[in-house]
Structures are given as C-alpha cells and as structure tokens.
Chains A and B, each alone.
Chain A
Amino acid sequence: MSTRGAEIPQTVSAPADDIDRRIILATQGGLPLVADPWNEVASKVGVPVDELLVRVEAMLDRGLIRRIGAVPNHYAIGYTANGMSVWDIADEAIDAVGEWLGALDAVTHCYRRPRRLPDWPYNLFAMVHGRSRDAVRQQLDDIAALLHGRFPGACRSHDVLFSSAILKKTGLRIGTSD
C-alpha cells in the first residue's frame, strides 16, 4: 500500500470521539491473536462487534488508521542497512525536490522538516533501506547525481545517517501519562 503520487492531506483536525479513542487504547498494543480478534476488541471497547467493524473501517477511510497489520523489524527481514538520507535544499525548490525524491522507488519515507542552524542544515529527510550500507550509499550517490542534473544548484549538501541500534520500537502509546 502506498500513497506515492497522490495528494497527501496534511493535518486535519477532527475531535476525538470517545469510542474511537477507546478503540485506539484497546489496540495500540496490538490485536489479540485469536480466531475472532475484533470480537475481543469490541468487548474491551464496549460496543457490539458489528459497530466496531464499521467504526474501524471509518477510521481507515479518514486516515486515523493508516493500515492494519504486521510491523516488521527491518533488521530481522534482511534490511540491515537503514539509512536516513538528509539534504540541504534551497527553500524555493524544496517542494519540487521533495515530490521528486519521494517518488523514487528506493525511498520509503520522505518529509520536509525545519533546519536547526548551525547544528543541522538539512531540510529534507528520505529513508532508504537496503541489504548493505554500500548498496544504500550507491543508491544515494545515484540519486544525488540525478538530483543535480534535474534541479541544478538546488542541493547544497547531503549526508546519510545509518542506524546502529534500535533502542525502542513500541509505536504510539496514548493514555499512559497524559
């Protein structure tokens, strides 16, 4: 599933419905691994299972749920090189470059973020996963060359930060401290 090429809505604020919130609390730690998991979730939330299924579908339609399923540990499935590529792109070109970079097959996430000068000059972040660091570096060299050809002068510098350890990966946990 991907949203590549589609117009991606930015933040939309809708008030948190109490039942939706209870669905988040009941499932943020994961779905129960039983034959009828939605029934178990429905009991926790306190609604009939048919209503729960309609609710969850509506949450998917609104994008409050991006998807339902498995989140792999990328190391365990062979993607041992996890590179966060970062680029210092001229402000006037950032959206054009971002759209272009995000549309490349190698890129799994692509965001514009603020610079933190003088510590951090980069305003475009793109994740590239690969089976080796050399493979990721090679891909990024190719991308940099293409970028310079297509947007001359737009990219002032770039770097890649490889991860050397996953320190935590639990995902969202609301309702625990606030």
Chain B
Amino acid sequence: MIDPAVRPRTASVIDDTDRALINALQGDFPLTRQPFFDVAARLGLDEAQVIARLQRLLNERVLTRFGPMFQIERIGGAFCLAAMRVPEGEFGRVSAQVNDFPEVAHNYRREHALNMWFVLATERPDGIADCARRIEVATGLPVFLFPKEREYFVEMKLEA
C-alpha cells in the first residue's frame, strides 16, 4: 500500500529507451544551452523525444523529480532523519499532519515499532529541533531525531 500521491500510476511500463534515459540522467546533466539536445545525441534520440519521455516519466511518477539535488549543509542548513512510533489506528491522521510540514522532504512507512521515518530539511541547523517540536505538538507523539554524525558512503544512482 503506497500512498496514491507517490504511487507509480497504473502499471507504468517502462521500455528500454526509458531505462537508458533514466540511467543517463542520473549522471551529469549538461550545463549547456541545449542540454536535452546533448543528452539526446548521446542516446541516439532526438531532443523532443527526450523532453516528452521525461515529462511522461514525471507524470507517471516513475521519476519523483528532475533537477539539482542540494546538500543544504554546505550553506549552513541541515538534513535530519527522524522517526515516530505511530499507533496503527492513527497512522493516516499522523501521516497527513507530518507530510503537511514543508520541512519534511521524504516520509516512509517502515515495518518496525518505530513505523514512520522521515527526513527534515531546513535552511538553518536550529530549524531541525524547532520543526521536530512543532511536529510533536501537532501530532501529540514524540519525535526521535537521528542526525547524521558521519557519512561513510552515498551512491546517487539507482540503475533502472
């Protein structure tokens, strides 16, 4: 059960060209005046096809985003993993309340006593604790914060 807001639409079938495009676009997007033309040339497609396919993959939610991924820590911001123990009968309400915060960048249901895991992203480091407190007030449940103490590895690409 994946929320309709983020569930891939229908059984969105992706073909080999989609896969090649998704894989190519997880690398370096050209910083040029016609980047889609350059991507298309690499893949033997034409520019309009690339743009149309990308639009379809976004519409069908095969892709959740297309654009820069920011590491906000580099300008004084913060990301923080957080978790809550949400009673089963209140999961829908709490999920809606948590997702309502723009600071919540992603939110996953996971199978554990701590069953809701989300990432907070704020422009200032003290924004994390402040946001966690506001989520506790809104939901009436404690928020556990798991700040990153050290990053050993981050792979930014998932082969389609």
Contacts and interface: CB of A to CB of B under 8 A. Distances in A.
A33 B51 contact: yes
B114 A114 contact: no
Contacts of B21: 70
Given A164-B1, A168-B107, A103 B27 contact: no
B113 to A, nearest CB: 8
Contacts, number: 303
B28 A167 contact: no
Judged by DSSP, the binding face of B is mixed
B87 to A, nearest CB: 15
Contact of B66 (A33, A161, A165): A33
Nearest to B150: A112
A107 interface: yes
Nearest to A101: B152
B85 to A, nearest CB: 8
Interface stretch (A8-16, A134-142, A150-158): A8-16
A64 B75 contact: yes
Given A162-B111, A174-B122, A175-B123, 13 more contacts: A10-B150, A36-B33, A38-B31, A69-B25, A69-B27, A69-B69, A70-B21, A109-B154, A113-B147, A163-B109, A165-B3, A167-B3, A171-B106
